[in-house]
Amino acid sequence: MAVEICVKAATGAPDILGDCPFCQRVTMTLEEKRVEYKQQLINLAAKPQWFLEVNPEGKVPLIKFDDGKWIADSDVIVGILEEKFPNPSLAAPPEVSSVGSKILPCFFKFLMSKDASDGTEQALLDELKALDEHLKTKGPYVNGADICAVDMSLAPKLYHVDVALGHFKGWTIPQSLTHVYKYKELLYSRESFKKTQAAKEHVIAGWATKVNA
């Protein structure tokens, strides 16, 4: 089965893989399922005409299987990948499907915040503590011993938390959240993560356009 995926190119470097956590979620899933795919880098600052024609919203990731139809939205794509390539299974049971789901919006609010007392840092800490508590009882991965779709979603988001908040705010996840640290080590050491991650400087460049806007 021919699989083609459009992902974000790096900000200011259109020939290099960019920093979209939703794109990495999908490419990690493809890697974990050992699905061969062709990757196209899309410069979001100058989207090609063909891309906008098949995808008027202009968002990535965008995937095409051998039926020739382009599909957007990482949630939808991951669901289809699970159906088309059931082995190894990355399906997550309903009770863990929302674990860590508020980390990215909380991270974004804290990153963009100009007011240290507005509660955005605490909101992110609360979400990270909740993840730590979950991993303490259910770990090492979100659903126990085996990696699942929720981990694919969280790995790039935690990477963005580390890189962007470290750079723009000098902030790091508290060392007391030992289970989150072990979890990050597990995720970041996986071949699927290493093969699909954007370089730190491209994560910083990607967020700089928003932080400095």
pLDDT digits (tens, 9 = 90+) for 70-116: 999 999 999 999 999 999 999 999 999 999 999 999 999 999 999 99
Give the CB-side neighbour count of residue 141, counting CA atoms within 13 A.
Answer: 21
- Whether residue 48 is contained in a domain is answered as yes
- Whether residue 40 is contained in a domain is answered as yes
Residues 125, 180: one domain? yes
Q: What is the domain count for the chain?
A: 2
What pLDDT sits at residue 99?
A: 98
Kindly tell me if the per-residue pLDDT of 176 is higher than 70: yes
6 counts as catalytic: no
What pLDDT sits at residue 1?
A: 66
Strand ranges in 102-170 using DSSP code E only, listed in sequence order? none
- Whether residue 174 is contained in a domain is answered as yes
Residues 74, 22: one domain? yes
Q: Mind listing the pLDDT tens digit for each residue in 20-76?
A: 999 999 999 999 999 999 999 999 999 999 999 999 999 999 999 988 899 999 999
The amino acid occupying position 156 is P
Residue ending a domain, choose from 53, 84, 115 = 84
- Whether residue 89 is contained in a domain is answered as no
Q: Mind listing the pLDDT tens digit for each residue in 116-162?
A: 999 999 999 999 999 999 999 999 999 999 999 999 999 999 999 99
Contact 141, 148 (CB under 8 A): yes
- Which of the residues 20, 23, 106, 148 is marked catalytic? 20
What pLDDT sits at residue 213?
A: 80
- The three-state secondary structure class of 125 is helix
What pLDDT sits at residue 2?
A: 85
Domain extent at residue 13: 4-84
Average pLDDT over residues 168-196: 98
Residue ending a domain, choose from 40, 63, 84 = 84
Residues 68, 106: one domain? no
Cα(51)–Cα(143) distance, rounded to whole angstroms? 36
Residues 79, 157: one domain? no
CATH of the domain at 74: 3.40.30.10
Residue ending a domain, choose from 84, 119, 142 = 84
Q: What are the CA-CA distances from residue 149 to residues 45, 56, 130, 141, 183 (Å)?
A: 30, 27, 19, 10, 15
What pLDDT sits at residue 40?
A: 97
Please name which of 163, 153, 152 lies closest in space to residue 190, comparing C-alpha atoms: 152
Kindly tell me if the per-residue pLDDT of 208 is higher than 70: yes
Please name which of 106, 175, 169, 99 lies closest in space to residue 133, comparing C-alpha atoms: 99
